[in-house]
Amino acid sequence: MTDATQLQARYEKFSRLLTSTASDSELLAIQELLNALGERIVLAPGSLLETEPWSRPGGLIEYSMAVTQQMRTIAKAMGLSIAPYSIIRVGLLHSLGLIGDSTKDYFLPQDSDWHRKQGRLYRYNEELPKMPVAHRTLFLLQEFGVHLTIDEWVAIATAGGPSREENRFYVGSEPQLSVLLSQSRQWIHAFNNN
């Protein structure tokens, strides 16, 4: 179990990294997003499945930080010419939709004993409009006025991978940032599920 001190330290690092990507004109939007959603970001799990290491409070930040670090590592190793601020911004924000919307949580505690025994610690909040996590992320970002470059937007929009119906259009023409995010997510899941 992650204690409050660890959760706070991770959130402070997350916030510091995220605000470092903002221009002077964007800083207010990022700060408003963090002020409004900060507590929920801190506590949000990154998965509903017990088998995933991010299925606990603080899991979303832990997962987002791991993906960001993996993106930075791969970009450096491959000599990719992607702006570091774009890597950080996309890595940290790509799964923000897992918190839900601006008022309702995406994951709710599982109230079914049968599902808990199957390893599903949470259930989806049926009060939220149905949409992929990536689209919910983009909606939240626009709601707070956080502007993205076209490559950042496409990377977040296609974060679910090329096999998702809504992402097939981009296959073969996606920006390097999108491929980098997708590959980093795959590496993180592969290393943490073995």
Say if CB 184 and CB 178 are below 8 A apart. no
Cross-strand bridge partners of residue 49? 120
User: By three-state DSSP, how is residue 108 classified?
Assistant: strand
Structure confidence at residue 136 (pLDDT): 96
H helical segments located in 144-175: 150-157
Task: Give the DSSP per-residue string, 18-35.
Answer: HHHT--HHHHHHHHHHHH
C-alpha torsion sign, points 20, 192, 130, 106 = negative
Structure confidence at residue 193 (pLDDT): 59
Give the range of the structural domain holding residue 146, as residue numbers without chain letter: 4-192
How many domains, in total, are found in the chain?
A: 1
**Which tokens go with 33?**
């997003």
Structure confidence at residue 163 (pLDDT): 67
Structure confidence at residue 157 (pLDDT): 92
Structure confidence at residue 2 (pLDDT): 58
Structure confidence at residue 30 (pLDDT): 95
The CATH number of residue 153's host domain is 1.10.3210
How far, rounded to the nearest angstrom, does the alpha carbon of residue 35 sit from its chain's CA centroid?
17
Query: Would you tell me the crossing angle of helices 84-93 and 176-192 to the nearest 10 degrees?
Result: 50
State which residues of the chain have pLDDT below 70.
Answer: 1-2, 163, 167-170, 193-194
Task: Give the DSSP per-residue string, 59-74.
Answer: HHHHHHHHHHHHHHHH
